Amino acid sequence: MRMEAQHMRQLTPTKKTALVFRGVVAEVIFSLALGALCVLICALVFQFKFSF
Amino acid sequence: MRIDLRLGLSIQVLVLDTTTMRDKRKLDDLKIVLYYSGKVIIGEAFLYFVPFVVALFRGEYASALDFIISFGFAMTIGSLLCTVCVTNRKPSWTHGMVTSGIVWIFSIAIFALPYWLSGHYSSYVDCMFDMMSGLTTTGLVLIQDLDHVSDSLNMWRHLLTYVGGQGIVVLALAIFYDNSGTGYSFYVGEGKDERLFPSVTHTAKSIWKISLLYLVVGTVALMMTGIFEGLSVGRAFFHGVWIFMAAWSTGGFAPMSQNVLYYHSTAIEAVSFVIFIIGSLNFALHDAAIKGDRKEIWRNLETRSMITTLCVLTFFMSWGLQKFNVYPSLMALVRKGFYHLASAHTTTGFMTVYPGQLAKEWGDVALLAIIIAQMIGGSACSTAGGFKGMRVGILFKAIVQDAKRLLHPSNAVVNEKYSYHGTRTLSDSQVHSAGLIVLMYVFIFAVAAVAGCMAGYPVIQSAFESASATGNVGLSTGVTSSSMPVYLKLIYIFNMWAGRLEFMAILASIGFFGSFFTGNKRKRAKEASL
């Protein structure tokens, strides 16, 4: 943990900002992918009208 | 990164601690608890500065006066507690836990004053209900005529949700507390059990830095969307801030009585969806992602558990709605059906339909899917409620492990592994504590559901509302209103509180105050026998 903190401190502000930006983008991509997967399930249920 | 994965194991330590300390409990212990509660109250009182500035900026001078009166009241109570109960003793683990528990009760009683002064509530219990709902990021509301609430009061409502999501004690830790080891008990008492850094103060500050980073990003995104949808710049800014605060903290408050339905905007629903999904993720995961370990998002047991349960429940919810042909188009099914399911699973509580529609049109299967999603909730150490995806994942792994043990020879060593910031081995104690917490959630859910039925509401609606309060969600089928019985309001307040703190601090508080009575009884019995 301390090594990570030290590594973060050694980064230039530009590199640190880029790292944070990529982290935020990764989380946004995760949420969009999760949403897309669920929309696909909705579409399949809607299209094929499963009945039990 | 080192993370203490306690998952409620501390309950056992805590019960042991309170039992052994029972006989030597003194007034000093109460003074320590009240002293630190006073400190947290003083810290919270400074939050009034934000809505006060908004009130001045918007020319709402009556509201500004409300906040001045409320600030004076909170500072008086906080200072009194700090002065009368001043002590040099360091708080123990139990003191930290009890303080974390009762400070929430102090908070709803003290900081509900601006609500009462605004004239938008029919009783002080209603104010305290909304206060607990805000602080625990639930989102159930009893406010009347919400559409005509002042901007400053709206700022106060949403700010409380935002602060409550991170934790009011976490806020105090970040600002006031010295860097000693006992601070960890305050932190754990608020339902967060992971350290991002060795120092708990540093962890609290880090949580706030992450939240403030997303506050800027999310507000800009929502503001731009609002402008695109036709809101004026000023209105888009305020609505952006408020919706962000409610989405990030998985709170579910909104500035208008129709909630997110008010905007009739696919774009705002999409942006808010992204924010509340991210908001329901673990702070340790945010920390890992912004430090470069982005793959952790995909391999983490908690996110995998969330993906699985959300997909399975999406299927059942869609099937339930499809069966009754509630929504004739796929777009409506996604915007109304799936949006609510995601809102329930992340314990946000944003709504794009009227509560009555949920109760009358959705049918039992879709409502059951929502109830289960509300109970599961988001991630541990996040702003979300529920019994958490982590515990679902652990219990699932435990089932797999036991099944493997049955299939393997009796002398075979079977250890299930999972990924959670590194590879971990499933232990029996983790399974035990996860099971215990889930059981307690189900118990208080059942109690509130029965109470709803006793008040005359249908079973499914009572269960729905109970799950919403217990899981800190905020979706409603119309049961929650200022006209519901007072005892039901009090039960929901308790469930929101217990659900948010994950029982540990509640058990500690009950044990702590109970020990005063049981301790005296024992003493008297001992004296009588002599």
Rounded CA-CA distance A47/A45 in Å is: 6
- B428-448 pLDDT, tens digit per residue, is 898 998 999 999 999 999 999
Rounded to 10°, the helix B93-110/B61-84 angle is: 150
Cβ atoms within 10 A of the Cβ of A13, count?
A: 7
Rounded CA-CA distance B37/B54 in Å is: 28
Note the ipTM here.
0.87
- Would you give the DSSP letter of residue B334? I
Q: CB-CB: which of B270, B292, B333 is closest to A46? A: B333
Give me the pLDDT at residue B7, please. Answer: 41
- B363-387 pLDDT, tens digit per residue, is 899 999 999 999 999 888 888 889 8
- Would you give the DSSP letter of residue B477? S
Beta-carbon pairs below 8 A across chains A and B: 90
Nearest to B110 by CA among B178, B49, B42: B42
Rounded CA-CA distance B26/B29 in Å is: 6
Give the distance from residue B71's alpha carbon to the nearest chain A alpha carbon, in angstroms: 36
- Across the interface, whether the CB atoms of B274 and A31 are under 8 A apart is answered yes
**Residue from A9, A24, A50 whose CB has the most chain B CBs within 10 Å, to mutate:** A24
Residue B15 pLDDT more than 50?
A: no
Distance of CA B373 to the CA centre of its chain: 15
Residue keyed to tokens 């320590």: B32
Distance of CA B391 to the CA centre of its chain: 16
Give the distance from residue A22's alpha carbon to the nearest chain B alpha carbon, in angstroms: 7
Give me the pLDDT at residue B400, please. Answer: 93
How do beta strands B417-419 and B423-425 pair? antiparallel
Shortest CA distance from A6: residue in chain B: B291
Lowest mean pLDDT among B80-89, B100-109, B182-191, B396-405: B182-191
Q: Which residues fall within 8 angstroms of residue A4, CB to CB, at 6 or more apart?
A: B1, B291
Neighboring chain A residues of B307 at a CB cutoff of 8 Å: 34, 37
Spell out a b/e string for B301-325, using b for 16 or more CB atoms within 10 Å of the CB, else e: bbbbbbbebbeebbbbbbbbbbbee
The residue type of B137 is: T
Element (H, E) at A9: helix A2-10
User: Contact B267/B404 with Cβ under 8 angstroms?
Assistant: no
- Across the interface, whether the CB atoms of B277 and A37 are under 8 A apart is answered no
Does the predicted TM-score (pTM) go above 0.80? Answer: yes
User: Contact B139/B110 with Cβ under 8 angstroms?
Assistant: no
